[in-house]
Structures are given as C-alpha cells and as structure tokens.
Structure 1
C-alpha cells in the first residue's frame, strides 16, 4: 500500500470534487480519526493498493506496515478504482463519504426507489425533491425521501430543465447504487 502520486491524486480529487464540490476540504483537511491507541487524533489519507484507492486513517496505515503488501487485501474504505487507461471510477463503498459531503442531491419518491435499486436511471416522474443549481454532468447523490443514501450518478439535465421535461425523461444517470451488493453477489 502506497500513497497516491501527483497524477493519481489529481484524478481522484477531480472526481471527488465533481460530487462534493468545495466540501472536499472536509474529507481531506478537517477529518480527524479517532481510531487506534494514539492519544492524538490523526487524519485520513488516500492509499493505493492493487489499483484500488482507499480512504484510511493514518494511525491504521502505521499499524498496517507490519503486513506484507501481497498479503494485504484491504485497508480502510475502498472509494474507487484506477483503470489501466488512467481513469478513476468511484465504487459504492464511498457512498457514506459522498453522502456526508454532497453538494447536489436528488430525493426519490418511494414508488421509484426500487427501480433505481435495480440499476435504472432516475426519471423525472420519480423525483420527490431536487437541490437547486444542478448543471448537466454534475455529480449527484440519490436519497430516499427519508434521507437514506441510495446511490449516486451524474445529472442528465439541469434543475431548470428538469422542471420543463416530461415525466419519462431521465434526470440522473445511475453510476452506482446499494442494490449492487445483491446484483453482484456472485462476483464477490
């Protein structure tokens, strides 16, 4: 497990910035870890292991140095994966991190939650509420009406355009949702 290099850090932060905006400072600078025996709280950092990016406390990283790299499977929360082509894809495991710092949010009506959890995009007819000032291709976190984070995706239309469109128009293209745990059960 190693720290991200400059290029990898830029790619990861650009993707996170798409979803959390200026709240990225809450993730990087102002997050304090309360793990481990150390009396001084550490910070969280990003580490790379086998093309997977993890969000982990510094105290846990220090304790994991006793484990060989090839024996280490996971450490902290996996937030995404770097592809061989140099792109970064967020995984569903980062949903709690995104939901706590989300800039743009969409709440689904109870009738359309299951459709989203089966892997479909969010239609305008299923939107209960939507935050203001969403632009096309902004990162959006999708919630139920009871504020339970269900997944995330990319806005297909701006907030202004959503008000004018028909109920069958796509508002959010789904990237990941909590239903993946069941759909991908055989792969895990």
Structure 2
C-alpha cells in the first residue's frame, strides 16, 4: 500500500471529476473525519485516515484490502471506476439520468440505455459527460457516459443509444457466476 504517484493522482482525479466535478474535495475532507486514497495491487482504495494508519502496520503480502475500492488502473495506465464507488459518488453527481422501470433490468444486465428507456436527464448534460444512472425512485444503479447531449436526446429516435454503460450494481451477480 502506498500513496498515489503524481501521474496516478492526475489520472484518477480526472476520472472522478468527469462524474462529480469540483466535489472531489468533499470526499477527502468530510464532517466525520479526514479520508484518503491509497494504491494497493493496481487498485485505488478509499478509507478513513485512521484505518489507513492501522493498515500500514501490515505487510504488503498479508494485506488483502482495506476501505472501499474506487477502481483499478489498467496495464496501459488508464483508470476504470468500479461500482463500489457508486455510494460515495452518487450524492455529489453533477449530471444524472433516470430510467423508466422497463429499462432498469436491461441496464442492470450491462446494456446501454436507449432513448425509449430514458425517464429524465439533467438539463445541460453535454455529450460524453459522465453521468450517474438512477431509477425513478432515486436509487443509484450505476455509471454511464452520455452518448448524446440533452438537446440531442430530445430530437433523437427512440432506438438510439443515449447513455453508454460503464458499471452497474448488477455486476456483482454477473461476476459471481464466473467465480463459481
């Protein structure tokens, strides 16, 4: 476990700002204490500083994980946000998409969102902007990237893709099948 390098921090914060903008500082300096991001086995972990200090006392081989996994770095140096970060990012999301109940299941199976399944979208969402996907009951379901801006969504065909799928809460069920 170690702090992120300057290049890793830059890549990681660029990815986070794609979804929550300037609200990144709210993740670090929270009312319940100071939090930090650490790198361990290609993954970025988010935890309270006191927990991180306790985890530092363990050897690299003995430590499996601590805190919450926010995502992982690929071998090419790109950062992929993991669905476990959803609960922390959803309250700070600048751009949101709400799905109709008929489209929820297809999104949770890992498919893109079509315009016919779109319930609402945050005004002034730009094309290729990171969005948090909710159901109509305001429960966060996952992440996506807007394939079209808000204005383009209004004028598009019902079968056009409006949000590209990135991660969703159904991922746990799909991955569990592979592990057994």
TM bucket by the smaller chain?
Answer: over 0.9
Corresponding residue for 2:26?
26
Whole-Å separation in 2 of the counterparts to 1:187 and 1:93:
18
Name the residue aligned to 1:86. Answer: 77
In structure 2, distance between residues paired with 1:7 and 1:165: 39
Alignment partner of 1:43: what SS?
A: strand
Mapping for residues 10-49 of structure 1, pairs under 5 Å: 10-28=10-28, 30-33=29-32, 42-49=33-40
Q: Which of these residues, 58, 67, 73, is aligned with residue 67 of structure 1?
A: 58
Aligned length: 179
Is 1:177–2:168 an aligned residue pair? yes
Q: Which runs of 4+ in 1 moved over 3 A?
A: none
Q: How does 1:1-188 map to 2 (within 5 A)?
A: 1-28=1-28, 30-33=29-32, 42-188=33-179
User: Equivalents in 2 of 1:77, 1:62: separation in Å?
Assistant: 15
Q: TM-score, normalised by structure 1?
A: 0.92
Tell me, which stretches of 5 or more residues in structure 2 are unaligned? Answer: none
Deviation at residue 187 of structure 1 after TM alignment: 4.0
Which segments of 5 or more consecutive residues in structure 1 lack a partner in the other structure? 34-41
CA offset at residue 69 of structure 1?
1.0
Larger mean CA deviation between 17-26 and 151-160 belongs to 17-26
Question: Structure 1, residues 63-118: CA drift from partner, whole Å, max 9, x if none?
Answer: 11221111111110000101111110001111111201101000001111001111
CA distance in 1, matches of 2:50, 2:25: 20
TM-score calculated relative to the size of structure 2: 0.96
Q: Distance in 2 between matches of 1:186 and 1:73?
A: 22
CA distance in 2, matches of 1:169, 1:64: 47
